[in-house]
Amino acid sequence: MGRRKIINEKNIEVVKLPEANDVLGIAIKPLGYDRFMVKCQDGLTRLCRIRGKLKRRVWVRVGDIVLVSPWDFQSETRGDIFWRYRRNQVQWLREKGYLTIEK
């Protein structure tokens, strides 16, 4: 087995960018279990759930920048959180012009 390597936030270089209908957003309010209210970059506030793959691996907190995939139906009110950006990744997104919303 072995020990898990400790990775510093500075060493993480892979940044997942929004594709097709994905939207960047800020987690503004936890609603319990795996759900958050997310203020999205397209001006809508969505009720989003954390995808099962991330549920126990990544902790989402209020103010975190997340990548949201709106549902096919109820796309204006619901979505899935499938990526959380780290501090250095958020800074990179702002420098490149992908992120226009403020906390």
Residue ranges and CATH numbers for the domains of the chain are 19-96 (2.40.50.140)
pTM value > 0.85: no
CA dist., res. 48 & res. 79, Å (int): 5
Q: What is the pLDDT of residues 27-41, one digit of tens each?
A: 999 998 889 999 999
* Eight-state DSSP code of residue 72: S
Q: What is the pLDDT of residues 1-15, one digit of tens each?
A: 556 555 555 555 678
Q: Is 28 exposed, middle or buried (0-12, 13-18, 19+ CB in 10 A)?
A: middle
CA dist., res. 66 & res. 83, Å (int): 6
